[in-house]
Structure 1
Amino acid sequence: MLSKKQLGEIKQLQLACEQEEAIHLKLNWDMLELRNDQELTDFFHYENEKLVGFLGMYSFGNKVEVCGMVHPHYRRKGIFTRLLKEALAEIKKQEVEVVLLNAPANSYSAQCFLRTVPCQLSFSEYQMKWTEIDLGNEQQIVIRKSTDNDLETEIQLDVECFGFKEEEARNHSKRIRKENTQSYYIIEEDQQPVGKIRVQHLNGEAWIYGFAIFQKYQGKGIGRKALKRIIREQHALGYPIFLEVETENENALKLYQSCGFKTVDGQDYYQLN
Structure 2
Amino acid sequence: MLTEGQLKDIEKLQMIVEQHDRIELKLNWYFLRSRMTENNDFFYYEGDQLLGYAALYYVGGAYEMCAMVHPDHRKKGIFTKLFQEILDSLKTRKTQKLYINAPPESECAKKTLKKLGATYAYSDYQMRWANKEVPDSEVDIKLRTATADDLEKIINLDVKGFDLTKEESEILVNVLKKDAGHRTYMIEKDGKTVGKLRLKAEGIETYIFGFTVEPEYRRQGIGKAALIEVVKQESEAGHVIFVEVGIEDERGLHLYEAVGFETYQQQDYYKYNW
Same-fold status (TM-score > 0.5): yes
How far is the alpha carbon of 1:97 from its aligned partner?
A: 4.0
Q: 1:119 aligns to what?
A: 118
Aligned-residue CA RMSD (Å): 1.7
CA distance in 2, matches of 1:247, 1:61: 19
How big is the shift at 1:138? 4.1
In structure 2, give the amino acid aligned to 1:167: E
2:17, 2:46 → 1: CA distance? 16
- Paired position in structure 2 for 1:34: 35
CA distance in structure 2 between the partners assigned to 1:137 and 1:3 by the alignment: 44
Mapped to 2, the partners of 1:46 and 1:136 lie a distance apart of 50
Q: Distance in 1 between matches of 2:174 and 2:268?
A: 27
- Give the Cα separation in 2 of the matches to 1:138 and 1:259: 10
* Closer/same/farther in 2, CA of residues 62 and 222 from structure 1, 3 Å limit: closer
CA distances 1:218-256 after superposition (whole Å, capped 9, x unpaired): 011111111111111111111111100111111111111
> Aligned with 1:243: secondary structure?
strand
List runs of 5+ in structure 2 lacking aligned partners.
none
Three-state SS of the structure 2 residue aligned to 1:116 is helix
- Identify if the C-alpha distance between structure 1 residues 17 and 7 changes in structure 2 by more than 3 Å, giving closer, same or farther: same
**In 1, distance between residues paired with 2:43 and 2:222?**
46
- Report what 2:54 is aligned to: 55
Alpha-carbon distance in structure 1 between the residues aligned to 2:117 and 2:10: 27
- Match of 1:183, as an amino acid? R
Question: Cα–Cα, structure 1 residues 242 and 61, in superposed 2: closer, same or farther, change >3 Å?
Answer: closer
- Tell me the TM-score normalized by structure 2: 0.93
Q: C-alpha deviations, 1:6-55, integer Å up to 9, x for none? A: 2221121112212223322222334434244xx43222111232111011
The letter for the 1-side match of 2:84 is: K
Letter in 2 for 1:58: Y
The answer to whether structure 1 residue 202 and structure 2 residue 197 are counterparts is no
Aligned-partner Cα distance in 2 for 1:132–1:41: 35
Q: Secondary structure at the match of 1:115?
A: helix
Q: How does 1:99-110 map to 2 (within 5 A)?
A: 99-110=98-109
Indicate if the aligned counterparts of 2:123 and 2:269 stay in contact, CA closer than 8 A. Answer: yes
Contact 1:62–1:95 (8 Å) recurs in 2: no
Identity %: 38
1:77 match = 76
Q: Unpaired segments of 5 or more residues in structure 1?
A: none
- Work out whether residues 66 and 100 of structure 1, in 8 Å CA contact, stay in contact via their aligned partners in 2: yes
Quote the Cα distance in structure 1 between the aligned partners of 2:10 and 2:18: 12
In the alignment, is the contact (CA less than 8 A) between 2:36 and 2:179 conserved in 1? Answer: no
Q: Which residue of 1 aligns with 2:10?
A: 10
- State the 1:65 CA deviation: 1.6
Moved more, 247-256 or 211-220: 247-256
Structure 1 pair 86–136 and aligned structure 2 pair: CA distance change class (3 A): closer
Matched, 1:234 2:234: yes
Distance in 1 (alpha carbons) for counterparts of 2:225 and 2:40: 39
**1:121-168 alpha-carbon deviations (Å, 9 max, x no partner):** 111101001113333334432111111111111111100011111011
- Contact between 1:63 and 1:98, CA under 8 Å: does it hold in 2? yes
Q: Aligned pair 1:86/2:85, yes or no?
A: yes
The normalised TM-score by structure 1 is 0.93
Contact 1:62/1:168, CA 8 A, preserved across alignment: yes
1:186 lines up with 2:186 in the alignment: yes
**What SS does the aligned partner of 2:134 have?**
coil
Number of equivalent positions: 271
> Which AA in structure 2 matches 1:40?
N
Match of 1:133 in 2: 132
Equivalent position SS for 2:115: coil
- Return the alpha-carbon distance in structure 1 between the equivalents of residues 54 and 238 of structure 2: 33
